[in-house]
């Protein structure tokens, strides 16, 4: 196309749980062009959630292509994109062949909980044999649990990637064989995307960044390397694992497509990317992203804070291989926006997600209904894979409006539970909460969150924080626009759009009464199913 303008833009490939997007940002974080596509989800059995790695890549390629077309249609040359970052659904596990570059099975999505029995096996192993910290030195029982958490920052749960990989090896013959023959390549979603974008078997670029590696149960949080103690405990060979890299450096170039030759300079799991996109880069700053699930991250600076109250210790980001990592405490909620999707698609109570807000707003309260949205167990701070989804307090008075409001309140109650734990761990009482993600578009959701939580909720006008975070990491890697993640003042012109505050209006006595009701509902949900050591 003739007379296209030349700019200096950064692209962000955001591969979420249900859709992929490619966004192109200017130096102020204005979106210049974008494209989004949903891709197929597979639920072959109860509690299973799978995706096809090839279909996922097709959506990535299509989004890049279409966003570049939109960029040129708006008068800018595609050469204006100088670097791209990648952010991804975390913990989801991909297995592929080193020889062929082809997937060996469908990937297992982060919220899949088929691995309850695998969890039970390793919990039993911790109790009986223990974890071998040095030759002949075993820690078991509570000591073993704490030793594993100190190394990885994580508890044993269906949520994390190593458990999913172990299940694949145990249940897919071709994955087991590839593991035995060193043909297996394992990675989280960003690892697979980078491998494919940079040329697959032609280059064999097999990497993962520290934020994603910190969600596997296999990385040592202090050394930022795969830990031989953890690998031995979970019986996984180090040959299958990608090289761990920082969140902001040049890793390689795109091997094909409209952006062929453009550098990849930023990698981060979606929740850590949202922390960066919200510019929560210093100790004490926090955000919560409400998408399919909900994830609250509290930046702890260069210190690893070991939670005593059900939160995760995780890497927030690492600005280059020579820099010290920045850490965070995290509380993870498995079901947030997906509960609204369930009301729409499975229960047919609403015809659109937005309609949930209207329906919930039509009643003053839930009529005593509580909805524990434990579709795949409960994550933080409860950590119970056997917890069951529960609607309790139903009566002849109950209407779909009450259930809609109870769904929004479930999200708020779980957020409060995490914040209560965070307050105990960090000795900090958050007075306000920065939020982003698709679920935050509804004002009713925000009002409920403020009322149940008892704090001010701050919603930015520009809420593409996840995509922006990986763009900032990528731009920082080549110092585009002078950006430097380690010097937040260099980001002063980025994302300066205003915010909307939601303050609590519910009386404290009513808030406390509902909170106690929620805790009773949780007591009835937990422990419904028990894992069996296979």
Distance CA 524, CA 372 (A): 9
Q: What is the pLDDT of residue 495?
A: 82
- Asked which of 256-270, 325-339, 422-436 is least confident by mean pLDDT, the reply is 422-436
Q: Band the pLDDT of 531: cuts 50, 70, 90.
A: low
Neighbouring C-beta atoms of residue 149, cutoff 10 Å: 18
pLDDT at residue 258 tops 90: yes
Q: Band the pLDDT of 517: cuts 50, 70, 90.
A: very high
- Structure pTM? 0.89
pLDDT at residue 376 tops 60: yes
Whole-angstrom CA distances from 24 to 221, 305, 481, 523 are 32, 35, 15, 46
Q: What is the pLDDT of residue 385?
A: 86
Q: What is the pLDDT of residue 432?
A: 82
Residue 75: both structure tokens together: 């008068």
Q: What is the pLDDT of residue 2?
A: 63
φ and ψ at residue 262, rounded to 5 degrees = -75, 140
The predicted-structure confidence for 400-430, as pLDDT tens digits, reads as follows 999 999 999 999 999 999 998 988 887 777 7
Angle CA 209–210–214, to nearest 5: 125
Contacts of 383 (CB under 8 A, 6+ apart): 155, 157, 310
CB 269, CB 90: distance < 8 Å: yes
The closest alpha carbon to 410, from 437, 389, 436, belongs to: 389
- Asked which of 56-65, 79-88, 273-282 is least confident by mean pLDDT, the reply is 273-282
DSSP one-letter string for 207-250: EEEHHHHTTSS-EETTTTEE-HHHHHHHT--GGGSPEEE-SEEE
Q: What is the pLDDT of residue 386?
A: 87
CB 258, CB 68: distance < 8 Å: yes
């Amino acid at each position: 196309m003739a007379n296209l303008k030349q700019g200096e833009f950064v692209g962000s490939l955001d591969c979420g749980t249900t859709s992929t997007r490619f966004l192109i940002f200017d130096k102020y974080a204005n979106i210049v062009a974008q494209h989004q596509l949903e891709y197929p989800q597979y639920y072959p059995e109860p509690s299973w959630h799978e995706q096809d790695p090839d279909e996922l890549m097709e959506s990535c390629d299509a989004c890049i292509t279409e966003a570049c077309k939109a960029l040129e249609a708006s008068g800018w040359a595609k050469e204006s994109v100088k670097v791209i970052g990648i952010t991804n659904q975390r913990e989801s596990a991909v297995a592929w062949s080193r020889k062929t570059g082809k997937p060996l099975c469908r990937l297992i999505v982060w919220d899949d909980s088929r691995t309850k029995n695998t969890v039970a096996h390793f919990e039993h192993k911790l109790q009986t044999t223990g974890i071998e910290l040095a030759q002949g030195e075993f820690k078991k029982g509570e000591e073993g649990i704490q030793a594993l958490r100190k190394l990885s920052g994580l508890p044993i749960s269906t949520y994390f990637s190593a458990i999913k990989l172990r299940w694949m090896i145990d249940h897919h013959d071709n994955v087991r064989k590839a593991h035995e023959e060193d043909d297996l390549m394992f990675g989280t979603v960003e690892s697979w995307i980078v491998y494919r974008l940079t040329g697959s078997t032609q280059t064999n670029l097999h990497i993962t960044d520290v934020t994603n590696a910190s969600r596997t149960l296999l990385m040592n949080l202090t050394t930022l390397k795969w830990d031989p103690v953890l690998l031995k405990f979970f019986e996984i060979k180090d040959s299958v694992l990608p090289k761990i890299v920082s969140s902001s450096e040049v890793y390689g170039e795109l091997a094909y497509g409209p952006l062929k030759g453009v550098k990849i300079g930023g990698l981060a799991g979606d929740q850590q990317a949202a922390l960066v996109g919200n510019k929560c880069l210093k100790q004490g700053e926090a955000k919560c992203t409400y998408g399919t699930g909900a994830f609250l991250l509290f930046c702890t600076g260069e210190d690893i804070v070991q939670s005593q109250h059900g939160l995760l210790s995780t890497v927030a980001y690492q600005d280059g291989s020579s820099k010290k990592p920045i850490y965070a405490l995290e509380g993870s909620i498995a079901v947030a926006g997906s509960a609204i999707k369930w009301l729409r698609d499975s229960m047919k109570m609403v015809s659109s997600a937005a309609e949930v807000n209207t329906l919930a707003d039509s009643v003053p309260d839930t009529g005593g209904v509580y909805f524990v949205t434990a579709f795949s167990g409960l994550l933080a701070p409860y950590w119970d894979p056997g917890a069951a989804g529960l609607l309790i307090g139903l009566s002849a008075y109950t209407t779909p409006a009450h259930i809609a409001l109870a769904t929004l309140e479930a999200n708020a109650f779980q957020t409060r539970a995490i914040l209560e734990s965070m307050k105990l761990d960090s000795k900090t009482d958050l007075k306000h909460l920065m939020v982003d993600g698709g679920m935050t578009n509804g004002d009713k959701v925000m009002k409920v969150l403020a009322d149940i939580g008892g704090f001010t909720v701050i919603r930015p006008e520009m809420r593409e924080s996840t995509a922006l975070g990986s763009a900032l990491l990528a731009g920082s890697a080549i110092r585009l626009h002078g950006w430097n993640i380690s010097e937040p003042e260099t980001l002063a012109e980025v994302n300066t759009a205003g915010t909307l505050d939601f303050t609590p209006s519910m009386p404290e006595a009513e808030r406390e009464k509902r909170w106690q009701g929620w805790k009773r509902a949780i007591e009835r949900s937990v422990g419904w199913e028990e894992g069996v050591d296979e």
